[in-house]
Structure 1
C-alpha cells in the first residue's frame, strides 16, 4: 500500500518535558492518520542515532506511556530517538491497537502500514542508524509490536513485547478476549524471518495470560538447535524473576524471556505516575534497551 506523508507545520510544535523535547508529528496514508510524539535527545546532530518505536496499551495515551516507561529519560541518558504513536478512540473505543483484526496484521495494510510509515518518516527526517531501529509495546501495544516484527523484519532489528501476544493469535474481538485469557487455540504461525525478541510477562497477569508470552517467544524462534540458559534473580524492588536466554549457535538471532513472579499486567520497573506500571519489578525499559543495542542489523554498532 502506498501513501502520502502528512507533514507537521514548519517549524514543528514542541514542548519541553524536562530532559528533552517532544515534537508533535502526524503521519497519514490510505489506511488512516495517526499523531505521534517524537523524543529527540540533546546533541542529536552529532551522529546517527538508534530509534525506538513505543506502542502504548489499551486505555493509555502516548504521553501516559512515556511517563510510565521512562523511555524519555533513557533517550536523553543514552542518546536515542523515541517515537510514541497515539491510537485515537476513533480507531478503537478503548484506544487499543487492533492487533486482533486480520486487516491489521499484515505488511502494507491497516495499522501496520501506518506504524511503518511513522518509522520511515522519522528515518527520513532525522539522522537515524537503519541498523538500530526497534519496536516495543505493552499489552495491545506488545501484540502490535509482535505484528510489526513479523510484517517488517527488514525495518526492525529487534522487538520488545511486554504483557503482549504473538502476531496473528486472534482474528476477531471475541477471539481476542479468549486468547488473552488462555492463549491462542492454534499455534501462531512461525515468523519467516525471525528477529531478536525480548519478552516480559507477569505470571499473575489476569488480563493477558503468561502463556501468550510463551507463544510470542516460540513464534520468533528460528528452526534448528538453540542454546538455552536460565537465570533466577530478584529485582531491587524485591520481585523474583526467571530470565531465559536462547541463542542460535554461531548465529545472530537471540531471545530473552523474563517471567516475573507475582507480576501482574503492568510495565516492570515503571514509574508509578504512569498507568499500568509495577515499580517493584526489574527495569524492563533499561533491559530492553540493553537487548536492543546488542542486536543491530548486519554489522551495525553494538553500543549506544
Structure 2
C-alpha cells in the first residue's frame, strides 16, 4: 500500500514482526511484472535505458502510431504497488490514447525498500543527479529519443511515496518537467533522512512558504524559471499523509512561482472536490489544489466511459473523481498540437512583435466568426484571448519557443491551427560544463544510445558512455548543448 503507515516501519518492531509484515505485503505482488496488452499499444518493460544508478525498473506505454512531438507523462506508483498496478488502475492509459502521449512507469522493488517505496526521504537518492531521481531522468531521456517526444512537454505524477518523489523531481529538474501532480504526497525535500519521514507524513513542519520555497530553489541552484505547473490532490480524511501536507505543498510552489498564497479562484468539482486555483502573473493557473471531502489515503478515480471518468477502484484507488483527467487538462494535454474540429479557418499573419528575456509578444489577423483565440506554446495551450494579440510571460531567457494560434467559435469549437512561428527570448548567458560522459548524462546534459553518448539538443556524438571520456559542453540555449572542447564559450 502506498506509504504503508511508515510510522510502523520506523517504530521499534521486532525483527520477526517486520519480516512478517513485509512478507505479507510482498505476497500479494507478482514475482515478475508481465507485459500487458492495451487498447491500441503495448505496456512493456524496457530493460536498458541507462546506467540506472537508482536500481529502478522502467515500463512504458504509448498509443500505436504515436506521432513525433508528442508529450511524455511519467507516473510513479505508491508503496507495495507496481508499475502494472498504476497502469491498470490510474486511468492514465485512457488519456494517452485519447490525447496522444507516451507514458513512462518507473518501478522500485523490495531490493531498494522493504515496502517497495520510492525513496523521497533519502537525499542520496532523491536529489538532482543522484540515485532514483537520476534513473527517472534517464528513463525520460530514453523515451524522448525513442518516440521523438517534445522535450518541452514532459510531466510527472505520482501517488503517496511516488508523489513525494514527484515533488522532489519537480524541484530537482525544473528544466526537464513542465508540470507535475502530487497525489496524497509530501512537499519537495521535506525529509532528508529516513528518520524524518514519519514526522513529514503526520505533522506540521512549521515552515513558512518562503522556507518551503527555498527547498525548491536549493534543489537546482542557479535555476530561475520557468517553474513547473503543479497540481496537488489531497483527501481531507487521509490519516497516512495528513492534509497539512497539501497546505505546505501549495505554500511551497506558490512561493517558488512568486505568486500569492491566496487562491485566484475556487470552484466545486465532482466527488466533493474543491479546486483552488493560483494564477501566475499572466493569469494562467500555475498551482492548483484539489481537496476531496472525506477521501482517505489514495488516488482519486471515477470508473466509467465518459470523458471525465477513468480508472478502476481497488486498494488505494478510491471512487471520487478522475484525478488523471483533471490533471491532464490542467497540463494542457487535451489541447493537442493541430487545432480542433471546428470549421473556422486558421489565423493568418501570425507574427512575433517583441521579445524580452522573459516574454514573447504575438499578433495575428482576425478570423471571421471567431469568438476568441487559443494560443499554443510548444503544442500546449498557453492562453485564451478575445484579442488578436497576446504577450506570453514567465519564460526562460535565451530560449526558443514555437507558437500557433487557433480561432474558437461561439460554441467553443476550436478551428484549424495557424502556421507555427518561433520566437527566442533574449538575455541567455552561455554556460560550460567539463566532466566525463557518465556525469554529463547524469546531470541531464547528454543522453545515451547504443553505448554511445550524445549531447542533448545538438545530438553530437561524444564517444563511449563511460567515466573515462571527458568533454566540455556549452549550453548555448536552455537545454541545447554543443561540444566545446576547444574553448568555452565557443
What TM-score results when the alignment is normalised by the length of structure 2?
Answer: 0.55
State the 4+ residue runs in structure 1 displaced beyond 6 angstroms: none
How many residues align? The count is: 285
Which of 255, 268, 271 lines up with 1:233 in the alignment? Answer: 268
Give the 3 Å change call, closer, same or farther, for CA 43–252 of structure 1 in structure 2: same
Aligned to 2:321: 282
| Alpha-carbon separation, structure 1, partners of 2:104 and 2:330 | 18
User: After the TM superposition, which residues 94-133 of structure 1 pair with which residues of structure 2 at under 5 Å, given as runs?
Assistant: 94-133=115-154
Contact 1:69–1:267 (Cα < 8 Å) also in 2: yes
Larger C-alpha radius of gyration, 1 or 2?
2
Aligned to 2:462: none
Structure 1: 5+ residue runs without aligned partners?
Answer: 1-12
| Alpha-carbon separation, structure 2, partners of 1:225 and 1:136 | 24
Aligned to 2:440: none
User: After the TM superposition, which residues 261-272 of structure 1 pair with which residues of structure 2 at under 5 Å, given as runs?
Assistant: 261-269=293-301, 271-272=311-312
Residue aligned with 1:204, SS: coil
Aligned to 1:242: 274
| Alpha-carbon separation, structure 2, partners of 1:230 and 1:215 | 19
> How far has the Cα of 1:232 moved from its partner?
3.9
Aligned to 1:188: 212
Higher relative contact order, chain-length normalized (CA < 8 Å, sep 6+): 1
Task: Output one character per residue of 1:98-132: Cα deviation in whole Å (capped at 9) or x when no partner.
Answer: 00011123110111111111111111111211121
> How far has the Cα of 1:32 moved from its partner?
3.5
Task: Output one character per residue of 1:70-105: Cα deviation in whole Å (capped at 9) or x when no partner.
Answer: 111221122111111111110111010000011123
Residue aligned with 1:265, SS: coil
Contact 2:120–2:168 (Cα < 8 Å) also in 1: yes
Give the 3 Å change call, closer, same or farther, for CA 204–14 of structure 1 in structure 2: closer
| Alpha-carbon separation, structure 1, partners of 2:285 and 2:277 | 11
Give the 3 Å change call, closer, same or farther, for CA 59–184 of structure 1 in structure 2: farther
Contact 2:55–2:112 (Cα < 8 Å) also in 1: no
Aligned to 1:24: 45
| Alpha-carbon separation, structure 2, partners of 1:89 and 1:276 | 19
> How far has the Cα of 1:173 moved from its partner?
2.1
Give the 3 Å change call, closer, same or farther, for CA 227–175 of structure 1 in structure 2: closer
User: After the TM superposition, which residues 1-304 of structure 1 pair with which residues of structure 2 at under 5 Å, given as runs?
Assistant: 15-26=36-47, 27-29=49-51, 31-44=53-66, 46-186=67-207, 187-190=211-214, 191-192=216-217, 193=225, 194-221=227-254, 222-225=257-260, 228-235=263-270, 239-250=271-282, 254-269=286-301, 271-279=311-319, 281-293=320-332, 299-302=377-380
> How far has the Cα of 1:23 moved from its partner?
2.6
Give the 3 Å change call, closer, same or farther, for CA 287–84 of structure 1 in structure 2: same
Give the 3 Å change call, closer, same or farther, for CA 234–197 of structure 1 in structure 2: closer
> How far has the Cα of 1:245 moved from its partner?
0.3
| Alpha-carbon separation, structure 2, partners of 1:163 and 1:103 | 23
> How far has the Cα of 1:252 moved from its partner?
5.9
| Alpha-carbon separation, structure 2, partners of 1:160 and 1:52 | 10
| Alpha-carbon separation, structure 1, partners of 2:95 and 2:295 | 23
Contact 2:274–2:290 (Cα < 8 Å) also in 1: yes
> How far has the Cα of 1:18 moved from its partner?
3.6
Task: Output one character per residue of 1:129-163: Cα deviation in whole Å (capped at 9) or x when no partner.
Answer: 11210000000001100010000011000010000
Structure 2: 5+ residue runs without aligned partners?
Answer: 1-33, 218-224, 303-310, 337-359, 361-376, 382-490
Contact 1:170–1:184 (Cα < 8 Å) also in 2: no
Computed over aligned residues only, the root mean square deviation of the Cα atoms, in angstroms, reads 2.3
Deviates more, 1:160-169 or 1:103-112: 103-112
> How far has the Cα of 1:224 moved from its partner?
4.4
Give the 3 Å change call, closer, same or farther, for CA 225–172 of structure 1 in structure 2: closer
